[in-house]
Protein backbone atom coordinates (compact mmCIF):
# COMPACT_ATOMS: atom_id res chain seq x y z
CA UNK A 1 0.00 0.00 0.00
CA UNK A 2 2.73 2.46 1.00
CA UNK A 3 4.85 1.56 -2.01
CA UNK A 4 1.97 2.39 -4.35
CA UNK A 5 1.81 5.88 -2.84
CA UNK A 6 5.42 6.45 -3.91
CA UNK A 7 4.86 4.62 -7.21
CA UNK A 8 7.52 2.02 -6.34
CA UNK A 9 7.83 -1.51 -7.64
CA UNK A 10 9.22 -4.58 -5.88
CA UNK A 11 12.28 -4.41 -8.09
CA UNK A 12 13.34 -1.24 -6.22
CA UNK A 13 13.93 -3.43 -3.11
CA UNK A 14 13.35 -0.74 -0.52
CA UNK A 15 12.76 -1.65 3.11
CA UNK A 16 9.36 -1.02 4.63
CA UNK A 17 10.93 1.23 7.25
CA UNK A 18 12.43 3.43 4.50
CA UNK A 19 9.11 3.59 2.66
CA UNK A 20 7.26 4.51 5.88
CA UNK A 21 9.82 7.20 6.64
CA UNK A 22 9.36 8.73 3.18
CA UNK A 23 5.55 8.57 3.25
CA UNK A 24 5.36 9.54 6.98
CA UNK A 25 2.91 6.69 7.64
CA UNK A 26 2.92 5.37 11.21
CA UNK A 27 3.25 1.63 11.83
CA UNK A 28 -0.06 0.53 13.41
CA UNK A 29 1.35 -2.13 15.73
CA UNK A 30 4.04 0.08 17.25
CA UNK A 31 1.58 2.95 17.61
CA UNK A 32 -0.97 0.74 19.42
CA UNK A 33 1.71 -0.60 21.77
CA UNK A 34 2.86 2.92 22.61
CA UNK A 35 -0.71 4.06 23.30
CA UNK A 36 -1.33 0.99 25.48
CA UNK A 37 1.70 1.76 27.66
CA UNK A 38 0.72 5.41 27.91
CA UNK A 39 -2.77 4.44 29.07
CA UNK A 40 -1.43 1.93 31.60
CA UNK A 41 0.70 4.72 33.07
CA UNK A 42 -2.39 6.89 33.44
CA UNK A 43 -4.34 4.07 35.11
CA UNK A 44 -1.44 3.31 37.45
CA UNK A 45 -1.44 6.88 38.74
CA UNK A 46 -5.22 7.06 39.20
CA UNK A 47 -6.85 6.60 42.57
CA UNK A 48 -8.41 3.22 43.29
CA UNK A 49 -11.99 4.50 43.27
CA UNK A 50 -11.89 5.58 39.60
CA UNK A 51 -13.69 3.48 36.94
CA UNK A 52 -10.65 2.48 34.83
CA UNK A 53 -8.85 1.12 37.87
CA UNK A 54 -11.96 -0.68 39.13
CA UNK A 55 -12.60 -2.31 35.74
CA UNK A 56 -8.97 -3.36 35.34
CA UNK A 57 -9.12 -5.41 38.55
CA UNK A 58 -12.72 -6.58 38.12
CA UNK A 59 -13.21 -10.35 38.53
CA UNK A 60 -16.62 -10.61 36.90
CA UNK A 61 -20.18 -10.96 38.17
CA UNK A 62 -20.36 -13.07 41.36
CA UNK A 63 -17.30 -15.02 40.23
CA UNK A 64 -19.56 -17.28 38.14
CA UNK A 65 -17.79 -18.71 35.13
CA UNK A 66 -18.53 -21.33 32.52
CA UNK A 67 -18.50 -25.01 33.42
CA UNK A 68 -15.00 -26.35 33.92
CA UNK A 69 -13.42 -22.94 34.56
CA UNK A 70 -11.97 -22.03 37.96
CA UNK A 71 -14.03 -19.57 40.05
CA UNK A 72 -11.22 -17.00 40.35
CA UNK A 73 -8.94 -15.41 37.83
CA UNK A 74 -5.43 -16.69 37.20
CA UNK A 75 -3.84 -13.48 38.42
CA UNK A 76 -5.69 -13.53 41.74
CA UNK A 77 -4.66 -17.16 42.32
CA UNK A 78 -1.05 -16.35 41.46
CA UNK A 79 -1.06 -13.34 43.79
CA UNK A 80 -2.44 -15.52 46.58
CA UNK A 81 0.31 -18.10 46.01
CA UNK A 82 2.94 -15.39 46.16
CA UNK A 83 1.43 -13.98 49.35
CA UNK A 84 1.30 -17.39 51.04
CA UNK A 85 4.64 -18.53 49.64
CA UNK A 86 3.24 -21.88 48.56
CA UNK A 87 5.18 -24.21 46.31
CA UNK A 88 3.94 -26.76 43.86
CA UNK A 89 4.29 -30.46 44.61
CA UNK A 90 6.79 -30.83 41.77
CA UNK A 91 8.95 -28.03 43.16
CA UNK A 92 8.91 -29.61 46.64
CA UNK A 93 9.92 -32.99 45.20
CA UNK A 94 12.77 -31.45 43.22
CA UNK A 95 14.07 -29.64 46.29
CA UNK A 96 13.96 -32.82 48.39
CA UNK A 97 15.89 -34.72 45.74
CA UNK A 98 18.45 -31.94 45.40
CA UNK A 99 17.50 -30.87 41.89
CA UNK A 100 15.53 -27.74 42.66
CA UNK A 101 16.57 -24.14 42.54
CA UNK A 102 16.97 -24.00 46.32
CA UNK A 103 17.74 -27.51 47.41
CA UNK A 104 17.59 -28.55 51.07
CA UNK A 105 20.98 -30.30 50.82
CA UNK A 106 22.73 -26.99 50.05
CA UNK A 107 21.24 -25.26 53.09
Residue boundaries of the structural domains of the chain: 1-45, 75-107
Torsion angle in degrees (nearest 10) through CA of 32, 39, 75, 28: 0
pLDDT digits (tens, 9 = 90+) for 26-65: 888 889 999 998 988 888 888 888 888 888 777 666 666 7
Instruction: Compare 36 and 82 and report the one with higher pLDDT.
Output: 36
pLDDT bin (cut points 50, 70, 90) of residue 74 is low
Q: Is the pLDDT of residue 12 over 90?
A: no
User: Can you give the pLDDT at residue 34?
Assistant: 92
Cα(65)–Cα(10) distance, integer angstroms = 51
pTM recorded for the entire structure: 0.40
The Cα-based distances of 77 to 26, 36, 65, 74, 92 in angstroms read 39, 25, 15, 5, 19
Amino acid sequence: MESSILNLKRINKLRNSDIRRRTKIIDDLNHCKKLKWKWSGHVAHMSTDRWPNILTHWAGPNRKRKQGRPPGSITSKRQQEIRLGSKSQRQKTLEQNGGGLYSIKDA
